[in-house]
Amino acid sequence: MKLIVGLGNPEKQYEKTFHNMGFIAVGDVAEILGTKFKKKECEASVAEAFVGGEKIIIARPLTYMNNSGRAVKQLMAKYKIPEENLLVIYDDYDIPKGKIRIRASGSAGTHNGMRSIIGETGLKNFARIRVGIRDEGVDIPIINYVLSEVRKEDYELFAAACAKAGEAAAEFARGLDIEKVMCKFN
């Protein structure tokens, strides 16, 4: 069993913000795997799919970004998900807009959602897909930037980045080793 988590904020006002790239990308994962977000459990909105007989849990924490770890910890405990079967998708200010980066493990960096996951679970050796959001032409504090809406002229760029992240996560769900996912999509 695998758990794919997209980070974001649950309220409608945050729907089109940079901080919701993870939510958008797991929507793409669900679509690729032929499922929908139908239930709420463990402080998350959840979709379930089966790939080659293996259950795939796709989740959007409803705890707000800074407490994402609570939902991830609960889902991992409920479904007995091992660390190597967890994949988290989130926005990253350190990566240029529209790019994605996949890693097999790492630190939280400057991301509060990832800090929460690492803090709550005590884990670091899980896969992550980061969707780049940094725009060199914007000079405002990071907290204001990540909670601002994506500009209309950049919408297609970010939609494509989230779709690519979603396809990479779907490959992980289908059993492709994270190192091979990295080679294919990085």
- Per-residue pLDDT at 86: 98
Q: CA 182, CA 149: separation in Å to the nearest integer?
A: 29
Q: Which residues of the chain have pLDDT under 50?
A: none
- Per-residue pLDDT at 110: 86
Residues involved in catalysis: 19
Q: CA 173, CA 6: separation in Å to the nearest integer?
A: 14
User: Tokens 């914007």 map to which residue?
Assistant: 138
Cβ atoms of 88 and 5 within 8 Å: the answer is yes
Cβ atoms of 21 and 131 within 8 Å: the answer is yes
Query: In this predicted model, what pLDDT tens digit does every residue of 4-38 receive, in sequence order?
Result: 999 999 999 999 999 999 999 999 999 999 999 99
User: Tokens 């490959």 map to which residue?
Assistant: 171
Other C-beta atoms closer than 10 Å to the C-beta of 67 total 18
Side chain identity at 5, as an amino acid letter? Answer: V
Q: Where are the domains of the chain?
A: 2-185
Query: What are the distances in angstroms from CA 55 to CA 51, 142, 175?
Result: 7, 37, 11
The CATH number of the structural domain formed by 2-185 is 3.40.50.1470
